[in-house]
Amino acid sequence: MPAPKKTARRSLLVASAVLSSLALAAPAAVAAPKPSGSPSASPSATPPASMSTVGGARLGRPGTQVNLASGVPVLPKDVSARSWIVADAETGDVLAAHNAHWRLAPASTLKMLFADTLLPKFPRTGKHKVAPSDLAGIGAGSSMVGIKEEETYTVHDLWLGVFLRSGNDAVHVLSAMNKGVENTVREMNEHAEELQALDTHVVSPDGYDAEGQVSSAYDLTLIARSGMQKKDFREYAATVSAKFPGETKKGKKGKSVRESFEIQNTNRLLAGDSDVPVYQGIAGVKNGNTTNAGATFTGVAERNGKVLLVTVMNPEKSGHNEVYKETARLFDWGFKAAGKVQPVGELVPPRSAAGARPGANPSGEAGGAGSGSGTSTGTGGKPVAGAPAAGGSSGVGAALGITGGVLVLLAAGAFLVNRRWPLPDLVRRRTRP
């Protein structure tokens, strides 16, 4: 595409984002009405005729939005999800979408917002002894990592439990450390508003089905993009397997011994399954499944220097691992279409982008107020690659990045992206088995 046309096209998208930001000054009900009633206890098969237009007017329309033209591959026909989106993680361009702002139950994909909100608060080397009250209120049938009362865990352990096993028990312990579930929910809702994820309303921090709890494919993609700008978030989302502390028991000689067991990431595009191969270039991020939400998934993957985000919500086609199969098809399309297709909208920056301070620490690494220096690289284990690097090489050049970081709203009305974020090297070198 010639440079002048590219600039003009980006200017239109920027203008849309600026208008969306200005719309925030209007009452919240105009941009994204608060949910009423159960979000999906009896889910409608029909999206609303009018939805949020954050990111562009076309994203507020029901149905599939894509600019097909000569040289642009046709979208896969076997995608049954009620809502999905394919976006360029670096530029923020939305390449295609289907009911992008349809407010649906998010399931455990909401844990991305939980992590993006709380990760910077606690040093990963910090320790916490679990009290019985920490595990109160966990929903029946919740996914659990296996946390035990009166045992001590590091913050690093707890985040492994959240990201790999989608452990609601780990979420509740971290929430207890954060002054409780109610406070955590409040902070998550505030952070969603800051990200302009205005379709999102949090009731339960773990994504467990709750009255009025909703998000959208657009919002989950915004949240994932924000999370992936944080080093610790990237590491945890890319970890395939890890050792997790078990119970402390008396050994043969009467000495207390802390056992451990292996946990594996439930993201099937990352860990693989009998009918789902590891997706080439996958680097996270989060899956979910509940009665109200069905299956949900947001993934990030890199191929040939391009980083894409795909979110899929509630495939209507039945079948084991269908959400991953549909995500893989959309990734395949996105990598073929990138650079050829005109976007239909964009992922907007956070509300505070205009007030970003030069020199502010944007690393997002776990530090917490009590860590002394304010940052901590930690001493926890590195991500465990489930497949060797291609050709057995130990290094494949500089780490590729996701643009994010500080997005500055200039007086001229343009956004300056001034930072690239490296994907975990072990994961990005993985090839399809």
Active-site residue set: 108, 111, 166
Tell which residue, 352, 344, 355, has the closest CA to residue 24: 352
Query: What is the distance of C-alpha 304 from the center of its chain?
Result: 22
The Cα–Cα gap between 240 and 71 comes to 36
Question: In degrees rounded to 5, what are phi and psi of residue 246?
Answer: -105, -145
Report residue 316 as tokens.
Answer: 């209507």
DSSP letter assigned to residue 104: B
Tell which residue, 126, 140, 222, 220, has the closest CA to residue 174: 126
In sequence order, what DSSP letters do the residues of 329-359 get, joined into one string? HHHHHHHHHTTTSBPSEEPPPPGGGGGPPTT
Q: Residue with structure tokens 């109200």?
A: 292
Region at 224 (left for phi over 0; alpha for psi -120 to 50; beta for the rest): alpha
State the SS3 of 190-241: HHHHHCCCCCCECCCCCCCCCCCCEECHHHHHHHHHHHCCCHHHHHHHHCCE
In sequence order, what DSSP letters do the residues of 250-273 get, joined into one string? E-TTS-EEEEEEEEE-S-HHHH-B
